[in-house]
Structures are given as C-alpha cells and as structure tokens.
Amino acid sequence: MIVYFAAGAKAWPEYEAPLTKALAGTGATIVTEAPDPAAVDYIIFAPGGDIEDFTPFTRAKAVLNLWAGVEKIVGNPTLTQPLCRMVDPSLTEGMVEWVTGQVLRFHLGLDRFIARAPHWDQHVPPLARERPVAVLGMGELGAACGQVLAGLNFPVTGWSRTPRDVPGIRCLSGDVGDALDGAQIVVLLLPNTPDTQNVLNAETLARLAPGAAVINPGRGPLIDDDALLAALESGQVAHATLDVFRQEPLPAEHPYWHHPNVTVTPHVAASTRASGVSHSIAENIRRGEAGEPFLHLVDRTRGY
C-alpha cells in the first residue's frame, strides 16, 4: 500500500515521525514523491502542496486533506477520488480555546486595561447571561465553541444552512438575520462556499446590537470587508478580531492593520497539529482498506 504525502516538502519534517508511527503495522509505505502515480493508494494533501492534476492517480482510494477547509481543492475538476476533510480533536480544542479567549476578552473589556498612563477604570461588565452571542456555523467547530460559551452562561444562538439540534444552543436556519438580531458578539465558523460569502454585509451587520464585536476564525470571504470597515467607523461594530482573510498573508497596506478597533491574528486559531492529525489520517486509511465508510467525506455539491 502506497501513501503519497503530497502536502509539500516543507511540511514533511513535521509529519514524518507522527505519520510513520500512526501507520505502523498497516503495511503502508509513505512516499514524498510519486514516480508512478497509478501505484498510489492514498494521497495526503494540503493546498499549496505537490498536486494540481489528480487524473494520473487512477488507483487512489481517497484524498485525505490535512486542513479542515476544502474550498481550495473541492472545485478541482480533475479530482474524482473521494475527498475527506480534516476533523480532529486537536483542531477542535485549539479553536474552542481561541474563540473562548477572544469572546471573554471583548466581554470583560480587557483591552481597556492596557494603559500607558495611570488609568483607574472600574467599569463593571455585564454578566455573561446578559451578553447574547451568535455563532454562525454549527458544524464540529461551531457546535463545540457554542457549547463551551453556553456553559459559561452566554445565551448562544447558532445558525446553519440546514437545521441542526445542538444541546444547550438555540439553533436556527433560514434567514441568518434572525440569529444576528440583538447579538452583541458574533463568531463566524462557516465554510467558504458561494452561499456563505459575504454573509456579514451591510444589511446583516445592521441586525447586530450597536457596539457589537465580530470574531472571525472561519474564512475571510465570509465578511464584506468594506461593510465591516464602515460599521467600525459608525460604531455599529465596536471591535473586530480577525484570524482569516481573503488574501493571506494580509497585505501590509490593508486598512485592517491600521484600524484601532481591529485585531489581526495570522490564521492561528485552529492550527493543524501533526500528532493528532496523523491518527485521523491513519483511521481513514484503515477504513478504506477494510471497506468501511470514510470519515468526514466531503459533499461536492455543498462544498464541504
């Protein structure tokens, strides 16, 4: 069994030991080059890796993406093999920690204590139960983040394109504005699809409570950047914490870098950790060899 690590030579040193350990005993041979594509059984892939044309890989049973997002590969017309996105506990844990930290940072007003001069501000924030939060996206990551925030007493409304039932969360589908009405914090964890692009725009931002916070660790195209900047200028949005962008790295001249009410983080909210991801890859390969359904198979028509 040949497993082709096609996620790029730069990533291989990080993954070599964890993947070798995770696949021990499976009979897999891991290669970083594929002189005979027709001999490859599984492809481990990441955007920017070694493959653009999947046509020669006629024997490959699956393409196993190292990232949770698949928008950079799902539309590739040469990709006819089953595609699995990455869902791993370490990704979920990292996202929950980042989102919770950013929500609490805004909720408690911690930035006001970064003082350059004597500054005795005894403003008392509301309790969490008085701060409505909207989480757009009720997949693995959105549901996990929403449940942790609900556990801290935030009233959480989750929104997804299709109906979901997540314990402890008021779940809506249909008009996204219904989930945003009166929200003081909105967290974006939707995939990037034609139906979700610019989900936060002038109209939907106006549905938030005045002075709300926008937190986006999902995908850059979910936000109409011009509309967000206008909402920041008007005060409709008090602060935006953004981890993802339409162009990455974010260009030095972009207004987000210089806006006093924007925090930029460099796409680190839920980083892939080689040890955990390797076990997820190995499990899908085991399933493929056993004739069992793959985990986290991408629905091409929905884009995720």
Give residue 3's pLDDT: 98
pLDDT band at 40; cut points 50, 70, 90: very high
Of the candidates 207, 219, 239, 296, the residue annotated as catalytic is: 219
Of the candidates 267, 286, 287, 300, the residue annotated as catalytic is: 267
**C-alpha dist (Å) from residue 135 to 42, 101, 261:** 35, 15, 21
Q: What is the pLDDT of residues 95-111, one digit of tens each?
A: 999 999 999 999 999 99
Q: The tokens 């040890």 sit on which residue?
A: 275
pLDDT band at 115; cut points 50, 70, 90: low
| Helix/strand/coil for 42 | strand
Residue 74 has pLDDT above 70, yes or no: yes
Query: How buried is residue 251: exposed, middle or buried, by Cβ count under 10 Å (0-12/13-18/19+)?
Result: exposed
Answer yes or no: 107 catalytic.
Answer: no
Q: What is the average pLDDT score of the chain?
A: 95
pLDDT band at 128; cut points 50, 70, 90: very high
Give residue 303's pLDDT: 83
Give residue 6's pLDDT: 97
Residues 6+ apart with CB under 8 A from 59: 38, 39, 40, 41
Residues 6+ apart with CB under 8 A from 123: 109, 112
pLDDT band at 210; cut points 50, 70, 90: very high
- What is the mean pLDDT of the segment spanning 210-230? 98
* Identity of the amino acid at 255: P
Give residue 47's pLDDT: 86
Domains of the chain: 2-88+272-290 (3.40.50.720), 89-264 (3.40.50.720)
| Helix/strand/coil for 164 | coil
For residue 208, which of 172, 173, 180 has the smallest C-alpha distance? Answer: 180
Give residue 200's pLDDT: 98
Q: How far apart are CA 8 and CA 303, in angstroms?
A: 24
Query: How buried is residue 142: exposed, middle or buried, by Cβ count under 10 Å (0-12/13-18/19+)?
Result: buried
Give residue 212's pLDDT: 98
Answer yes or no: 170 catalytic.
Answer: no
Which of 236-247 are b and which e, b meaning 16 or more Cβ less than 10 Å from the residue's Cβ? Answer: bbbbbbbbbbee
Q: Are 207 and 233 in contact (CB under 8 A)?
A: no
Q: Are 60 and 40 in contact (CB under 8 A)?
A: yes
Q: What is the pLDDT of residues 242-294, one digit of tens each?
A: 999 999 999 999 999 999 999 999 999 988 789 889 999 999 999 999 999 99
